[in-house]
Structure 1
């Protein structure tokens, strides 16, 4: 039996950061409490609802929509497969960028994680057109959790040589073909961190807007 690959120290640091950000966002979406960053348990306003998931804080948002309704403002396509899709447009993207809903951001994270996992340690063939877009808050949270788990599993077989290999991940929608894999792992972490912060802020705004109205 081949012994398990020891996690390289620099990957272990990135994995610890990923785990903290992932667990924090999952708790922020589902409750009942989350780690506010200081180890204290902070109450969450319940699991994400469908109304909150699709809430558009400003006019002209990009979101997740029923495919039969077509793309939203300034979008030219609905990414993904299934009865729902995520607003998208070919390059050059609209400027200024459309504001994106919580549904859009969560779908983007779920897709990115699932596809990068596949292009690192899977079939290396999964495409956006074959990735289903969730059609409700609970399914969207589950899709994010599945994508995050798949990405983490893909990292467990990575060694020092792989971290330095340019194009180790063949994900076709980023700079993966031009970057050492260690840089891609770092990039995924910052995507999770910054979109997770945006999602948390949208939950706060939705709560306070609903309270005022």
Structure 2
């Protein structure tokens, strides 16, 4: 049984992720009022689109990091622009590729550090080199995180450090607060991604 406290958080995650997935993959998405809005599928060109100069993005490892980045995070032939703390100020504008890579990685790693091996790392997590790979990785991360939530009982929700994810406040927060935090990550990055899709669609008008 899903703990009653978790029910609204799980419903919020499902709704936010379904809207994001529809906004990315099409062919239609829920416009928010129950009607379908046509959506073009994400392309590699849009995935890598840089709307302003000096964006942080996903790059071939052989090309090295972009402006103000000091490293390419992740594993594989592609990496995500990153820098050690303190991060550059003002923060670099990040592409759709960067945001999708970050979101997919965060979901996958938090799922693993909640109900998996507790060993996955950013350095070992593959960075998608194209739109199709990014959508597949996002789906895998979201599915893994949802399975991890379904395994949480009331005691787990109250446990500080139930999730051992090393790149957030997980070690200091009850798991219920981490579940809320992941929801807002999906919501706010989903909104950013939706805006980037709108700007890309209308960029030449």
Which TM-score band (shorter chain)? Answer: over 0.9
Answer yes or no: is 1:70 the counterpart of 2:64.
yes
**Equivalent of 2:194 in 192, 200, 208:** 200
**Equivalent of 1:51 in 45, 52, 55:** 45
Q: Following the alignment from structure 2 to structure 1, what is the Cα–Cα distance between the partners of residues 38 and 122?
A: 35
Q: Following the alignment from structure 2 to structure 1, what is the Cα–Cα distance between the partners of residues 190 and 146?
A: 17
Q: Following the alignment from structure 2 to structure 1, what is the Cα–Cα distance between the partners of residues 139 and 5?
A: 24
- In structure 1, the gaps of 5 or more residues are 1-5
Answer yes or no: is 1:186 the counterpart of 2:144.
no
Residues 120-139 of structure 1 mapped to structure 2, 5 A cutoff: 120-139=114-133
Partner residue in 1 for 2:27: 32
Residues 1-213 of structure 1 mapped to structure 2, 5 A cutoff: 6-44=1-39, 46-210=40-204, 212=205
The DSSP-based 3-state class of the residue aligned with 1:209 is coil
Q: Following the alignment from structure 2 to structure 1, what is the Cα–Cα distance between the partners of residues 140 and 13?
A: 14
| 4+ aligned runs moved over 4 Å, structure 1 | none
Q: Following the alignment from structure 1 to structure 2, what is the Cα–Cα distance between the partners of residues 38 and 185?
A: 26
Deviation at residue 195 of structure 1 after TM alignment: 0.2
RMSD: 0.6
Structure 1-normalised TM-score? Answer: 0.95
Deviation at residue 188 of structure 1 after TM alignment: 0.2
Q: Following the alignment from structure 2 to structure 1, what is the Cα–Cα distance between the partners of residues 54 and 5?
A: 42
Deviation at residue 42 of structure 1 after TM alignment: 1.1
The DSSP-based 3-state class of the residue aligned with 1:60 is coil
Q: Following the alignment from structure 1 to structure 2, what is the Cα–Cα distance between the partners of residues 185 and 13?
A: 11
Partner residue in 2 for 1:3: none
Q: Following the alignment from structure 1 to structure 2, what is the Cα–Cα distance between the partners of residues 33 and 49?
A: 16
How many aligned positions are there?
A: 205
